[in-house]
Amino acid sequence: MKTIFFNQRALILCREGERAEKDPEAVIVIDSGDDTILANAVNTIDTGSGIRRLYVLCDNPELTYERIRKLFTEVDAAGGLICNDLGEFLLIFRNGMWDLPKGKREKGESTAENAVREVMEECGIPAPELGELICVTDHTYHRGGQFVLKHTYWYSMSVSSSAPTRPQTEEGITQTAWVPAGEIRQYAGQTYPSINEVFEKAGLL
């Protein structure tokens, strides 16, 4: 199963019998191999504010995903889920939503280097200890006449509880907060679906 996020909405590629039948809000289309169907599905979830989740039933979600990628301009990014030695996780407040630090990959960077740099820049913390890759999320946006699909690589990281933080205000970040693991669920409704996916993959939701 593959998920592409369109702001608060999601396009989900899955096999028959997976999550769609259990979702009372599901809108379902069937991928017959016609790329026009995929283009229509993308346009529907992008513009259809009354649809929260559109499922594309397909035999092979990975192959269908590769066909859908051709509809976008693609960029890579990376970010971090940072934990301190008290078991608290670092969130940032940006553009009216709670978020995790992330940003585009620069030329010549690995995704891991990208993630560490963005965490340091956006949170003002010293170099964190890099952990494992948690997951890769996909989300879309329109910019400069292009329809962009951003692949964000999320890494676990750790720092000392004494590490100072400083929000990068020039990037629209106005606040940082250390949140105990048991309270992450309280932020689920105040963040993006892609961030909740990171929390879920990390076992926090």
Neighbours of 195 (CB within 10 A): 25
Share of the chain above pLDDT 70, in %: 99
60-101 pLDDT, tens per residue?
999 999 999 999 999 999 999 999 999 999 999 999 999 999
The predicted pLDDT at position 48 comes to 81
Q: For 191, how many CA atoms within 13 A lie in the half-sphere containing its CB? A: 19
DSSP 20: G
More confident residue, 164 or 200: 200
Q: What is the pLDDT averaged over residues 34-48?
A: 94
The predicted pLDDT at position 49 comes to 76
In the structure, what pLDDT confidence band is assigned to residue 20 with cuts at 50, 70 and 90?
A: low
Q: How far is CA 66 from the centre of its chain?
A: 18
The predicted pLDDT at position 21 comes to 67
Domain limits of the chain?
Answer: 2-69, 73-201
As a whole number of angstroms, the distance between CA 77 and CA 150 comes to 7
In the structure, what pLDDT confidence band is assigned to residue 163 with cuts at 50, 70 and 90?
A: confident
The predicted pLDDT at position 156 comes to 98
Yes or no: say if 26 and 55 are a contact pair by the CB < 8 Å rule: yes
134-161 pLDDT, tens per residue?
999 999 999 999 999 999 999 999 999 8
Q: What token pair was written down for 13? A: 């590629």
Residues contacting 20, CB < 8 A, separation 6+: 12, 14, 26, 28, 55, 57
Angle at 26 between CA 8 and CA 198, to 5 degrees: 40
The predicted pLDDT at position 72 comes to 98
Q: What is the pLDDT averaged over residues 108-131?
A: 96
Alpha-helical segments (H) within the chain: 35-47, 61-69, 111-123, 193-201
CATH of domain 73-201: 3.90.79.10
Q: Point out which residues pair with 4 in neighbouring strands.
A: 11, 138
